[in-house]
Structure 1
Amino acid sequence: MDVTSMPRGYGATLPDWVFDELTAVPGPLTSAEERMALVNRLAARNPVEGSGGPFAALVVNTADGEVVSAGVNLVLSSGLSAAHAEVVALSLAQLRVGTWDLGAEAAVERELVVNWRPCAQCYGATMWSGVRRLVVAGEGPELEELTGFDEGPMREDWAEQLRRRGIEVVSGVLREQALEVFADYRRLVAERGLTVYNARNSGDSSRGLA
């Protein structure tokens, strides 16, 4: 077996503009609305910058609003299908605090803030990350209808399954703002011919929106 060409590691790097957005925030994000507003700004800018789809996430200390990490979808810029915003944010938070378990018994309570209900991949990542709270802008078919992305075979009781595992779920935070971001993305795809990547059974992986 020839192993000389096999990679020994992998990863994705946040672009500098994300940190520009973060440093412009004046202080801790004390409300769910403040946290989601930042997520929506990052999500809106991400496809314009060419990193990936219109998705962003934050890991935040629930009590004081300190941002532990941020993530945007980096699939296109990294070439990694797993580099969804939630996975990026959770992984960077775990690196920062030095543990895979963001909800360890002695840890500060942390939450994941995302601009829509997680896809099939990010649902599992959230469940096993240790966060104690998931805050989403919304749930339902609108994301797929507006963007053309396939979010995967999610179960209908997804939120209840998280709650059973000690993860509080809050939905409907700045929902309309999130939908505006997705609608703007649809227009951007039509204007620029951006890649909308999907599993093969959902159509051509490089197709645009109809």
Structure 2
Amino acid sequence: MPDTPPLAHSFTIALPAWVDEELSGTPAVLPTREDRMALVHCLAARNFREGNGGPFAAVVVDTDSGELVSVGVNVVLSTGISSGHAEVTALGLAQVATGSWDLGAGGARRELVVNWRPCAQCYGATLWSGVRTLVVAGSGPELEEITGFDEGPVRDDWAEQFEARGIAVVTDVLRQEALDVYRAYAAHVAATGAVVYNARTDG
């Protein structure tokens, strides 16, 4: 029998270098949810222009103090890893920073702030992360309609499912600003032919 070819043993999802530049001057504490979402929108708006992935970003913060724990952007295109979504990146980096897979360990109250309702993948990642609150800019069909992304089969009662598992859901924080970023992304795709990466539907 032929030898087994060398197999990959690891992969890396890391923030692009420009994020440090973008965060320069950002306070360590973001007291309001509008402050937190404004940072998310800023990162999302730059991310697609840098070629890392789609117009998506997320942050994890301490709910009560507003202390910034981690940030994430979508890095699917720059890494070639389909799971490199903003939520996965932010949650993973928060878990590294805190030293625990459970971001609610010891009674900690942390929240994930993201610029739309999580896709099918990030829905599960959020459920199992230990965050106690999910803050989203919006949850309607506009994201898919504007950008062409397929967010996957997310339940109609997605918010209730989070709530049933002890994760509070806060919606419509700087919603219009999120839509502005998506429209800018759509214009960018039209002008540059940037890849809108989706699951295959052709069998």
Q: Which residue of 2 aligns with 1:208?
A: none
Distance 2:170 2:15 in 1: 26
> In 2, Cα distance between the equivalents of 1:93 and 1:107?
16
Q: CA distance change for structure 1 residues 2 and 158 in 2, over 3 Å: closer, same or farther?
A: farther
State the identity as a percent. 62
Offset, 1:27: 4.0
| CA distance in structure 2 between the aligned counterparts of 1:103 and 1:14, rounded to whole angstroms | 23
Matched with 1:66 is 67
Q: Compute the displacement of 1:85 (Å).
A: 0.2
Deviation (angstroms), 1:108: 2.3
Q: CA deviation at 1:26?
A: 3.1
Aligned counterpart, 1:79: 80
- TM-score under structure 1 length normalisation: 0.93
Q: In structure 1, what is the equivalent of residue 147 of structure 2?
A: 147
CA RMSD of aligned residues (A): 1.4
Distance in 1 (CA, whole Å) between partners of 2:3 and 2:134 is 44
Q: What is the total number of aligned residue pairs between the two structures?
A: 202
Partner of 1:71, secondary structure, is: strand
Q: Which residue of 2 aligns with 1:173?
A: 173
**Corresponding residue for residue 41 of structure 1:** 42
The structural deviation recorded for 1:11 is: 1.4
Paired amino acid for 1:11: T
On the 8 A contact 2:149/2:198 being kept in 1, the answer is yes
Give 2:7's aligned amino acid. Answer: M
Q: Secondary structure at the match of 2:124?
A: helix
User: 4+ residue runs of structure 1 moved beyond 2 angstroms?
Assistant: 1-4
Deviation at 1:4, TM superposition (A): 5.1
Matched, 1:108 2:111: no
How far off is 1:161 after superposition?
A: 0.3
Q: Which runs of 5+ in 2 are unaligned?
A: none
- Tell me how far 1:71 sits from its aligned partner: 0.3
Residue matched to 1:15: 16
CA positional deviation for 1:13 = 1.5
Alpha-carbon distance between aligned partners in 1 of 2:27 and 2:62, rounded to the nearest angstrom: 16
Distance 2:43 2:120 in 1: 22
Q: How far, CA to CA, are the matches of 1:151 and 1:26 in structure 2?
A: 32
CA distance in 2, matches of 1:187, 1:74: 20
For 1:68 and 1:155, how far apart are their aligned partners in 2? 29
Distance between the aligned counterparts of 1:47 and 1:2, measured in 2?
Answer: 41
TM-score normalised according to structure 2 size: 0.96
